[in-house]
Structure 1
């Protein structure tokens, strides 16, 4: 496309007009930058188990006035509660309104709640059952606080941009792993009657220039993620499809544009992909202030605007209906989808708390204490924190610690932050890192005139249990590593020495081990300036130069490079501790002392060099003729993370799916068995469309069985991973995993189900998932590059 044409379409997109007549120009699977073909809004009818909810919703909406329907679709900021968003009540019909509240790791901006492990930590656990339990107890807290709609989980960003500022909120850099974990997360939240909001739909892969002119007050538009049809289906839509299959009540549209059309008014994405192809029965809400138009966003499939400070709907919606710009049936569908979700989750039950009852408007003022916690959540909080730790190096049996007499502890991420979440915004200074303007003042007393570039991605004022922004929440407490290690020292009579501030600390010669704690902070609103920092790497090397048994622990909100120190002969162990939530210290100490074996594995690839990521290292920035309309071209297609490393034969430092335990496992007895569904399958699915798409996409065609034996000396859990090589596709793609705890000397059988979707690729001509004719390589192992068993499937 010519530069002039691209800019012209971008201009139209900014007005909500792009793509209306673009369909005729798309004739093949080419990159269709600037083109987002118009798709009309389908009317939901309540398929599957939504039927009863839709009958109730339709009857309710039939009683509403035009203004009352409008009010259901338009959020407002309350003057009586602190909910992130609100929908007005309709007292005459007994509808109490709705409270929408952050975040994906616990209830935000309130008190008496727990801080759960973050998305990246859940991804590193590779534990579907634990993901459900975490979400279940979290959902109970949202419900007790009077929250109707929890603003999570996150599967977008998927992690395409290595420096992406919000990658820590997502579950994994692989669509299958993210999808397999978002399903139990949605189900766990909604088991308590709280609607899950799966976000951010779609292509929201960077923070740089994510916001439109409406937010920034500049003439620079939000970045356009330019994604081809095949890539959007096989990568970015995949985990959203799993969330829809799980019954997610709502989907949040993202800030960015896709193919130069704002997501809040991108009819191809909202009406076409989500509501038609995936059969989504819930409602679509905008991210806060991301709505860019009135008529266009309504007709494109947006159902709820949060909030409506721009006044694009409301009275303007009434006018648009009166002059025929928006048919009344579209408003009815919007209102019905919202009410159907309310009924579907049982929020019409009189036992459901009043909206916002536990979310004070002002935490500094006297308010009723609504304690949402339950003792039943404690073991889940701890286990979730434990299983997201990933041990990647352990030489000379450095771990677990063997009755140490003296431990020396170094680094800024070992101790609790100096202040709590007293500001009430759900962040607290522990999550602010060095994003503020007064960085030099903040650094005084810690680092002498340190260059900003060296410390702008660390939170030097204490340990981090999550990243920053709307995804963070206020913990009831923080058990930092030093707190838990101090408790252990009290219990076993050992001794600790520590220095949290020095970059080149004194090291006691009698130390049994030196533990160095650093972090890699990240936050909403900014992409990371790099994947490592010189300050922390120097600290690690300085300790290692003086201590023969140096163990490094990194609390990382994303990929963190380690090649600046990992080959130091005195560095015996390395743990990626990720973002464990409030029980961080207890979890780590249990692993260090061998109370439990580590069992996490990497949900991303750790390279040796930044350059290994190619064009997916940095976020796109506006330049040249596109300075006003920044473009991010996803020219790598489906080849991100390990798929790219495999394609270009790049050796990573630690591959996707890698992680160590305190034992060893052997794999044997691979068998591949076709199922009864296999005998009747056709190239394309032909079933009815329900939640998640064509119902026969989920037919199981093959079952793969293996046996795993614990050949070591410690009971531990192994995560067996199944990879498939689809003809003409990537070298391998993850298509199954199971986590099994196995006692010493014993074996367990593990099975994987392969569905039609698992074995298909997106046919851009037929606009269907298609099984390929030929041989599919099947491999099972301990990581994406440690494959122990091999077989094949022929279709």
Structure 2
């Protein structure tokens, strides 16, 4: 009997149970209609949540119905908190402040601007992901923020032109899962709750919300793809203890994300054993009682026309059992207790003034101890993809010429305190509130200056930021290097005495709109105009997503190319450190760069409201798990730069691969452990280990990103299942070990609704990218 039918029978809903049995018969059952899963599972506590659960039960037991309902929706804030839960003064509950976002605290002053999610993904560093999270969490806590609205693992990057892909870590679910786990752990170590988002299948900005007569887009998916790809990093976040999950705007199999009982009650709260609370994305609630029954626990930014007094009425007239309200309140308060927010955390929103003249205390949340994290995080997310003619590192050039619109500080980047606290600043000036493609071929916002981060609720508003031009000027002054710059012309003249030229471009993105393109002629022509006059032309692209380079990359005078991503406030110093060899590049691509945009197939563009779906746009995820490098492998497409690729200033050798079974490991096909946070406990049992020796065969100390890919019988040819990032000095060797768990080696069985460990021969590959696999072996199960 399948899981959905079991849940329905336990609920006494025999008619739904029969329907569930009929729909879960093959892998296409999820398309078009989302199976019902009721009732919403109540929090059970257990293990690490038990103490908080017991405290919450005692607390909620003292509340009136109205007080419980008041915990479930926001109230108009008197601070710049994104959302506020009101206080219950008689029980000394101070309320809660929820604020954006996953790349640093925005909409306030005296905070840092951290590298964006895509930059962390490009670093391939577990350590940096954790330390960045610790530093971010500390700033949120000092400002009185209870819930950090991040990190992001949805969108997962399915739609190549997706406007918010930069907020997530990678298009690969395994890489995203590891980095979100480190991020959740680091933030919550500071006593700040993470709101892992946007759950789930929020893969495009186009039609993400209903407008006029057009409904929000429906992401239509099968059960197998859901588990093996999109749910995977959310599962890692839940296992890491994420206290909150944010449900998404769009529909899932034609049911809104915040009213979808299958994804909230079934997958999240039952299968993954999630113990925290579910909050809506801002204004993503489209139903009242139905969204409560489906598993949503908190509405933001407020009750609007759905909750509040309407929930009280629903309980009194029998439309909704009070037990559901009690569970909603219990989950919220238990999460508050779980992270000791009853003990010593600053008053909610204390450092989030609504304007410069208000009575709130001014809190400088920055910590000097975070400076190395900001700088190293920025350095390691740069990816060097081309370096010929010994162009890099630079060696005290006599003259350095700089070009391009992404070199300088944006002219609005030094706002007044009032401007920092306004939405117009956070989302960009009026004309910049979209990924607007101007007649000259690129995003208007991006032309205004360098891109430290993306736009929208994931934006950063650092107290200071250093552009590439500013940092390079200081380095040139130290070395006695003459500089020439022209940041305005699209066909600049180049001084023939230039030893090297650097051209800066960007690929901008903003919440609310998908990107207009992944290449633009204006920037390509600018780069080629410089290269035609300079035999060592270095291209630096600050990219908020995939950016094609085939319009210029084969030009013989283009001798170095760097994907600089979104580095945060230390953008300039980080780039300068890399250009001059103070550090060796160690970033690797967290996505595949194609030669042509058509190489990405049907996932290049967002789904539109057209034809028979003019009023109900549909995004059919029929490609299944074959996205990015899996798709390129399957279709035999040669990329320009493959997933996991990146150059260094040194070279490495891979030697002595060993693949070993873990002694006593249970290789029975089905897991049998109890469900705790994240799913069945034995999914994380170690089944095998893979070890390899890595030696630095060059002359420069550097990190290497060793990547493990496996070929599971009956699954894609290879999938990432491990990475390590050792630092090696010249001639130094180090052994790295990858631990393969039951989940790593399993596929999802739709019929059994469990992860199935495959029997047969697994192919094992270890290398420096998804296509540079230096050693290989096999594992028999």
Q: How far 1:20 sits from its partner (Å)?
A: 10
CA distance in 2, matches of 1:618, 1:733: 24
8 Å CA contact 1:175–1:238 kept in 2: the answer is yes
Query: In structure 2, do the counterparts of structure 1 residues 122 and 140 end up closer, same or farther at CA, with 3 Å as the change threshold?
Result: same
Query: In structure 2, do the counterparts of structure 1 residues 581 and 400 end up closer, same or farther at CA, with 3 Å as the change threshold?
Result: same
1:478 and 2:465 equivalent?
Answer: yes
Aligned partner of 1:525 in structure 2 is: 512
Residue-by-residue CA offset, 1:736-766 (whole Å, 9 max, x unaligned): 0000100000100100000000000000000
SS at match of 1:745: coil
8 Å CA contact 1:433–1:456 kept in 2: the answer is no
1:724 and 2:724 equivalent?
Answer: no
SS at match of 2:755: strand
Aligned partner of 1:73 in structure 2 is: 72
Q: How far 1:326 sits from its partner (Å)?
A: 1.3
Aligned partner of 1:510 in structure 2 is: 497
| Match of residue 733, structure 2, among 721, 740, 747 | 747
CA distance in 1, matches of 2:463, 2:502: 26
What does 1:230-379 correspond to in 2, within 5 Å? 230-349=224-343, 351-363=344-356, 368-379=361-372
Residue-by-residue CA offset, 1:15-56 (whole Å, 9 max, x unaligned): xxxx99852441221153221111121111112200000000
Residue-by-residue CA offset, 1:98-138 (whole Å, 9 max, x unaligned): 00000111011000000000000000000001100001011
Aligned residues: 762
CA distance in 1, matches of 2:109, 2:256: 36
Query: In structure 2, do the counterparts of structure 1 residues 544 and 488 end up closer, same or farther at CA, with 3 Å as the change threshold?
Result: same
| Match of residue 381, structure 1, among 374, 377, 393 | 374
CA distance in 2, matches of 1:69, 1:695: 33
8 Å CA contact 2:200–2:247 kept in 1: the answer is yes
8 Å CA contact 1:393–1:575 kept in 2: the answer is yes
Aligned partner of 1:126 in structure 2 is: 124
CA distance in 1, matches of 2:435, 2:161: 21
CA distance in 2, matches of 1:452, 1:592: 33
1:564 and 2:551 equivalent?
Answer: yes
What does 1:171-182 correspond to in 2, within 5 Å? 171-182=169-180
Aligned partner of 1:684 in structure 2 is: 670
8 Å CA contact 2:432–2:445 kept in 1: the answer is no
Aligned partner of 1:629 in structure 2 is: 616
Aligned partner of 1:424 in structure 2 is: 420
Query: In structure 2, do the counterparts of structure 1 residues 393 and 766 end up closer, same or farther at CA, with 3 Å as the change threshold?
Result: same
Aligned partner of 1:23 in structure 2 is: 20
Residue-by-residue CA offset, 1:657-693 (whole Å, 9 max, x unaligned): 0000000000001111111342x33111100000110
Which range moved further: 60-69 or 43-52? 43-52
CA distance in 1, matches of 2:552, 2:143: 46
Aligned partner of 2:107 in structure 1 is: 109
CA distance in 1, matches of 2:721, 2:533: 45
8 Å CA contact 1:22–1:36 kept in 2: the answer is no
CA distance in 1, matches of 2:322, 2:544: 46
8 Å CA contact 2:426–2:461 kept in 1: the answer is no
SS at match of 1:248: coil
8 Å CA contact 2:435–2:509 kept in 1: the answer is no
Aligned partner of 1:10 in structure 2 is: none
What does 1:34-53 correspond to in 2, within 5 Å? 34-40=32-38, 41-53=40-52
Which range moved further: 546-555 or 622-631? 622-631
Aligned partner of 1:7 in structure 2 is: none
8 Å CA contact 2:245–2:279 kept in 1: the answer is yes
Query: In structure 2, do the counterparts of structure 1 residues 142 and 677 end up closer, same or farther at CA, with 3 Å as the change threshold?
Result: farther
What does 1:515-554 correspond to in 2, within 5 Å? 515-554=502-541
Residue-by-residue CA offset, 1:587-620 (whole Å, 9 max, x unaligned): 0000000000010000000000000011000000
1:495 and 2:513 equivalent?
Answer: no
Which range moved further: 107-116 or 429-438? 429-438
SS at match of 1:376: helix
Residue-by-residue CA offset, 1:247-271 (whole Å, 9 max, x unaligned): 0010000001000000111000001
CA distance in 1, matches of 2:432, 2:392: 38
Aligned partner of 1:711 in structure 2 is: 697
Aligned-residue CA RMSD (Å): 1.8
1:756 and 2:752 equivalent?
Answer: no
Which range moved further: 662-671 or 302-311? 302-311
CA distance in 1, matches of 2:423, 2:17: 41
CA distance in 2, matches of 1:303, 1:437: 31
Gaps spanning 5+ residues in structure 1: where?
Answer: 1-18, 441-449
Query: In structure 2, do the counterparts of structure 1 residues 693 and 451 end up closer, same or farther at CA, with 3 Å as the change threshold?
Result: closer
CA distance in 1, matches of 2:22, 2:620: 19
CA distance in 2, matches of 1:363, 1:468: 23
CA distance in 1, matches of 2:434, 2:159: 28
Aligned partner of 2:9 in structure 1 is: none
Query: In structure 2, do the counterparts of structure 1 residues 20 and 766 end up closer, same or farther at CA, with 3 Å as the change threshold?
Result: closer
CA distance in 2, matches of 1:430, 1:141: 18
Query: In structure 2, do the counterparts of structure 1 residues 124 and 105 end up closer, same or farther at CA, with 3 Å as the change threshold?
Result: same
Query: In structure 2, do the counterparts of structure 1 residues 272 and 110 end up closer, same or farther at CA, with 3 Å as the change threshold?
Result: same
CA distance in 1, matches of 2:595, 2:429: 25
8 Å CA contact 2:435–2:513 kept in 1: the answer is no
CA distance in 2, matches of 1:589, 1:608: 28
Aligned partner of 1:443 in structure 2 is: none
8 Å CA contact 1:427–1:472 kept in 2: the answer is no
SS at match of 2:194: strand
CA distance in 2, matches of 1:634, 1:21: 27
What does 1:152-167 correspond to in 2, within 5 Å? 152-167=150-165
CA distance in 2, matches of 1:470, 1:488: 34
What does 1:616-655 correspond to in 2, within 5 Å? 616-655=603-642
Q: How far 1:155 sits from its partner (Å)?
A: 0.2
| Match of residue 141, structure 1, among 119, 139, 142 | 139
CA distance in 2, matches of 1:20, 1:524: 40
8 Å CA contact 1:417–1:430 kept in 2: the answer is no
1:398 and 2:372 equivalent?
Answer: no
CA distance in 2, matches of 1:439, 1:198: 25
8 Å CA contact 2:400–2:498 kept in 1: the answer is yes
SS at match of 1:397: coil
Aligned partner of 1:6 in structure 2 is: none
SS at match of 1:619: coil
CA distance in 2, matches of 1:377, 1:463: 23
For normalisation by structure 1, the TM-score amounts to: 0.94
8 Å CA contact 2:52–2:335 kept in 1: the answer is yes
For normalisation by structure 2, the TM-score amounts to: 0.95
Q: How far 1:495 sits from its partner (Å)?
A: 1.4
SS at match of 1:601: coil
CA distance in 2, matches of 1:67, 1:649: 60
Q: How far 1:320 sits from its partner (Å)?
A: 1.2
Q: How far 1:405 sits from its partner (Å)?
A: 1.4
Query: In structure 2, do the counterparts of structure 1 residues 414 and 578 end up closer, same or farther at CA, with 3 Å as the change threshold?
Result: same
CA distance in 2, matches of 1:20, 1:720: 47
Q: How far 1:424 sits from its partner (Å)?
A: 2.5
What does 1:657-676 correspond to in 2, within 5 Å? 657-676=644-663
